């Protein structure tokens, strides 16, 4: 049974609450002032407090402040007839779970209270959700227990003690830069500079001069000599991010530095000698760029001496709970707050998602959830809808798309293009999905359902011949699902 404490000085409200909530599942206790509420609180140990903001004596906000000192985690819902943003913000800042306006809408009131009671239960059950993390995981700042990540750690260790060039590959957000920094930190060059250059972010014509510098007058605008990153980084480590986005001319120069440690500044002819370790990264398939002659084959082999591939997060789902916990702690530390917990149900939903943006996206989702979560615990409802609605059936996606503004039914002709775009965006979250056959199958099932299995009519609706429809029905094995006349 859940214990609900109502603090309100109005007899009417107390009466309504008794009528609505007193039941075998909920034990309702009422207090007529903040002082009285605070007095009975320690003994009663309620699961939820619902409180008016405007009361004689101690105000609701003051009561909330004091209540927080007694129990920091107890969910409190604030009610008021004077709905100002100010009170709402103040109440939320003081850690109120939610905010309700009087007179209340009974279904909404019930819904909010049920959600708060659920949060309260979860909070008490899971004091904290913490898969064990070792201190070394933190020291390295790279979390992962999966076999593939263990291999990555081994390679980092091996590379750290050498001066070899390394190529780090993996989708966006898988931690390539993090790994590059880890190699540097553990290498003998850790006291020397580390410079990261994003080759994709610098216009092609400027990249060469950025990396190698230029002589005065080398090109229009080169008013003075400039020292490039390779020279600045002498004795250190240079991280060339997005190396696939480099012009062939710059690639040639990089190859030469790797082979002989020398280069010339743009517009110069004096060779400059440097000792720089190169770590490169890319989220493109460099082999394909080599095949298409966009990337020099010799440079590719030179970089590829040691390759560290970071698998996408969806291929190492066992790391997801560890990462969640790591981010909760990391974010709490940066905000000088104790870490918050997460409902195992929410963890379950996060484990199922496809994470097209990989670890970076997971971190962003956790950050957002911490902002949205009302209580101490992150619940499934605090997660973005597209993450929670893991790619299930195409039908569920179609129904959610149908209600999106882009494709909402209107008096105008249906916009097939925006519907297809939305569907395509959604389908990209599932790398396994073969979207055209999947959609075709659903369209046929819908047409057959609408025409009650009449193939002639269904074919007409779909804009195909009956013979084609028959072939598709057979191909997709639709017969078993519908009794077709
Ligand atoms: N294994 C991990 N453990 C902890 N944090 C991680 C891990 N992998 C990635 N991150 C975090 O995710 C974010 C993205 O990582 P990073 O910038 O290294 O990715 P990237 O592969 O370089 O992405 P992009 O290709 O988009 O540049 C960073 O905030 C990083 O700290
Ligand atoms: Mg990066």
DSSP label of 226: B
Question: How sure is the predictor about 82, in pLDDT bands with cuts at 50, 70 and 90?
Answer: low
pLDDT of 395 over the 50 cut = no
Ligand lying nearest the CA atom of residue 182: 1
* 25, two tokens: 């599942």
Which residues place a Cβ less than 5 A from the ion ligand 2? 177
CA distances from 328 to 92, 229, 321, 368, 403 (A): 20, 36, 11, 11, 33
Give 410 or 48, the one with higher predicted confidence.
Answer: 48
Please give the number of the atom of ligand 1 that sits closest to the Cα of 178: 18
Ligand 1 centroid–CA 213 distance in Å is 30
Per-residue pLDDT, averaged over 360-365, amounts to 93
Please give the number of the atom of ligand 1 that sits closest to the Cα of 198: 27
**Rounded to an integer, what distance in angstroms lies between the CA atom of residue 137 and that of residue 394?**
39
Ligand 1 centroid–CA 372 distance in Å is 23
* 431, two tokens: 């790398």
pLDDT of 319 over the 80 cut = yes
Ligand 1 centroid–CA 420 distance in Å is 31
**Rounded to an integer, what distance in angstroms lies between the CA atom of residue 338 and that of residue 335?**
9
Ligand 1 centroid–CA 226 distance in Å is 32
Q: What is the pLDDT of residues 376-389, one digit of tens each?
A: 889 998 898 878 86
pLDDT of 203 over the 90 cut = no
CB atoms closer than 10 angstroms to residue 394: 21
Per-residue pLDDT, averaged over 271-296, amounts to 93
* 2, two tokens: 């859940």
**Rounded to an integer, what distance in angstroms lies between the CA atom of residue 234 and that of residue 228?**
10
Q: What three-state secondary structure class fits 263?
A: strand
Residue 447, pLDDT score: 82
Please give the number of the atom of ligand 1 that sits closest to the Cα of 175: 18
**Rounded to an integer, what distance in angstroms lies between the CA atom of residue 98 and that of residue 375?**
9
HSE-up (13 A, CA, CB side) for residue 108: 10
Long-range contacts of range 299-302, CB-CB < 8 Å, 24 or more positions apart?
299/251, 299/252, 299/254, 299/255, 299/258, 302/165, 302/255, 302/258, 302/259
Ligand 2 centroid–CA 171 distance in Å is 9
Mean pLDDT, all residues of the chain: 83
Residue 43, pLDDT score: 93
Whether the Cβ atoms of residue 52 and residue 60 lie closer than 8 Å to each other: yes
Q: What three-state secondary structure class fits 196?
A: strand
Residue 404, pLDDT score: 52
**Which domains are delineated in the chain?**
2-125 (3.40.50.2300), 141-311 (3.40.50.300), 314-388 (1.10.8.60), 394-475 (1.10.10.60)
Nearest CA to ligand 1 atom 16: 175
The residue behind tokens 């519908």 is 482
Q: What is the pLDDT of residues 95-141, one digit of tens each?
A: 788 878 777 788 888 988 988 888 777 666 543 334 444 444 445 57
HSE-up (13 A, CA, CB side) for residue 92: 13
Residue 131, pLDDT score: 43
Give 50 or 220, the one with higher predicted confidence.
Answer: 50
Which of these, 306, 54, 40, 21, lies nearest to 180 by C-alpha position? 306
CB-based pocket (< 6 A), ligand 1: 142-144, 170, 172-178, 283, 323, 326, 359-360, 363
HSE-up (13 A, CA, CB side) for residue 30: 16
**Rounded to an integer, what distance in angstroms lies between the CA atom of residue 178 and that of residue 435?**
34
Task: Give exposure, 37-64, as e/b (b: 16+ Cβ within 10 Å).
Answer: bbeebeebebbbbbbbbbbeebebbebb
Whether the Cβ atoms of residue 199 and residue 241 lie closer than 8 Å to each other: yes
How many degrees, rounded to 5, is the angle at CA 380 between CA 376 and CA 386? 135
Please give the number of the atom of ligand 1 that sits closest to the Cα of 168: 21
Strand stretches in 85-216, DSSP E: 98-101, 166-170, 194-198
Please enumerate in sequence order all residues whose Cβ is within 8 A of that of 202, keeping only pairs 6 or more positions apart, or say none.
210
Ligand lying nearest the CA atom of residue 153: 1
Ligand 1 centroid–CA 149 distance in Å is 13
The residue behind tokens 């920091």 is 72
Ligand lying nearest the CA atom of residue 356: 1
Per-residue pLDDT, averaged over 1-30, amounts to 92
Give 209 or 476, the one with higher predicted confidence.
Answer: 209
pLDDT of 295 over the 90 cut = yes
Highest mean pLDDT pick, 68-77, 136-145, 353-362? 353-362
Residue 17, pLDDT score: 93
Residue 265, pLDDT score: 92
Highest mean pLDDT pick, 179-183, 240-244, 393-397, 478-482? 240-244
Is the pTM higher than 0.85? The answer reads no
State which of 131, 175, 318 you would mutate to test the pocket of ligand 1, scoring each by most atoms of that ligand within 8 A of its C-beta: 175
Residue 484, pLDDT score: 40
Residue 204, pLDDT score: 82
The residue behind tokens 């775009």 is 421
Per-residue pLDDT, averaged over 419-426, amounts to 77
Residue 3, pLDDT score: 94
Ligand 1 centroid–CA 316 distance in Å is 15
State which of 140, 143, 152, 178 you would mutate to test the pocket of ligand 1, scoring each by most atoms of that ligand within 8 A of its C-beta: 178
Ligand 2 centroid–CA 172 distance in Å is 7
pLDDT of 15 over the 70 cut = yes
pLDDT of 480 over the 80 cut = no
Nearest CA to ligand 1 atom 25: 172
Nearest CA to ligand 1 atom 31: 178
pLDDT of 440 over the 60 cut = yes
Estimate to the nearest angstrom the gap between the alpha carbon of 69 and the chain centroid.
33
Please give the number of the atom of ligand 1 that sits closest to the Cα of 363: 12
Ligand 1 centroid–CA 419 distance in Å is 33
**Rounded to an integer, what distance in angstroms lies between the CA atom of residue 111 and that of residue 119?**
12
Residue 167, pLDDT score: 96
Please enumerate in sequence order all residues whose Cβ is within 8 A of that of 238, keeping only pairs 6 or more positions apart, or say none.
194, 195, 196, 197, 229, 230, 276, 277, 278, 279
């Amino acid at each position: 049974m859940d214990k609900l404490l109502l603090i309100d000085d109005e007899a009417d409200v107390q009466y309504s609450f008794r009528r609505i909530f007193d039941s075998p599942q909920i034990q309702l206790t009422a207090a007529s002032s903040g002082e009285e509420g605070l007095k009975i609180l320690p003994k009663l140990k309620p699961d939820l407090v619902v409180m008016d903001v405007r009361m004689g004596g101690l105000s609701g906000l003051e009561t909330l402040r004091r209540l927080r000192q007694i129990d920091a985690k107890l969910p409190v819902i604030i009610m008021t007839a004077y709905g100002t943003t100010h009170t709402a913000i103040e109440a939320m800042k003081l850690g109120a779970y939610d905010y309700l306006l009087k007179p209340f809408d009974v279904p909404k009131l019930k819904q909010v209270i049920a959600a708060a009671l659920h949060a309260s239960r979860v909070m008490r059950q899971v004091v904290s959700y913490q898969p064990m993390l070792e201190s070394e995981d933190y020291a390295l700042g790279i979390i992962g227990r999966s076999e593939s990540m263990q291999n990555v750690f081994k390679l980092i260790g091996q590379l750290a003690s050498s001066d070899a060039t390394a190529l780090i590959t993996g989708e966006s957000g898988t931690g390539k830069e993090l790994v590059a920094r880890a190699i540097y930190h553990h290498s003998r060059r850790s006291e020397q500079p580390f410079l990261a250059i994003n080759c994709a972010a610098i216009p092609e014509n400027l990249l060469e001069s950025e990396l190698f510098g230029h002589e005065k007058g080398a090109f229009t605008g080169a008013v003075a000599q400039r020292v490039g990153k390779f020279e600045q980084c002498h004795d250190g480590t240079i991280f060339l991010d997005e190396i696939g986005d480099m012009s062939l001319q710059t690639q040639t120069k990089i190859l030469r530095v790797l082979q002989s440690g020398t280069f010339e500044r743009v517009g110069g002819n004096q060779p400059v000698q440097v000792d720089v370790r190169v770590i490169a990264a890319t989220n493109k398939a460099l082999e394909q760029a080599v095949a298409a002659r966009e990337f020099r084959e010799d440079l590719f082999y030179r970089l590829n001496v040691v390759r560290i591939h970071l698998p996408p997060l969806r291929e190492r789902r066992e790391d997801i709970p560890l990462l969640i916990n790591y981010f909760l702690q990391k974010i709490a530390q940066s905000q000088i707050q104790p870490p918050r917990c997460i409902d195992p149900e929410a963890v379950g939903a996060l484990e199922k998602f496809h994470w097209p943006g990989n670890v970076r996206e997971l971190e962003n989702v956790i950050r957002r959830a911490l902002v949205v979560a009302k209580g101490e615990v992150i619940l499934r409802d605090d997660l973005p809808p597209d993450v929670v609605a893991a790619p299930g059936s195409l039908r569920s996606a179609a129904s959610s798309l149908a209600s999106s503004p882009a494709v909402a039914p209107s008096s105008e002709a249906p916009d097939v293009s925006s519907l297809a775009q939305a569907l395509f965006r959604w389908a990209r979250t599932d790398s396994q999905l073969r979207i055209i056959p999947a959609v075709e199958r659903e369209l046929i099932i819908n047409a057959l359902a609408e025409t009650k299995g009449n193939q002639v009519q269904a074919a007409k609706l779909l804009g195909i011949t009956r013979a084609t429809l028959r072939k598709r029905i057979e191909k997709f094995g639709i017969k078993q699902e519908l009794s077709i006349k």
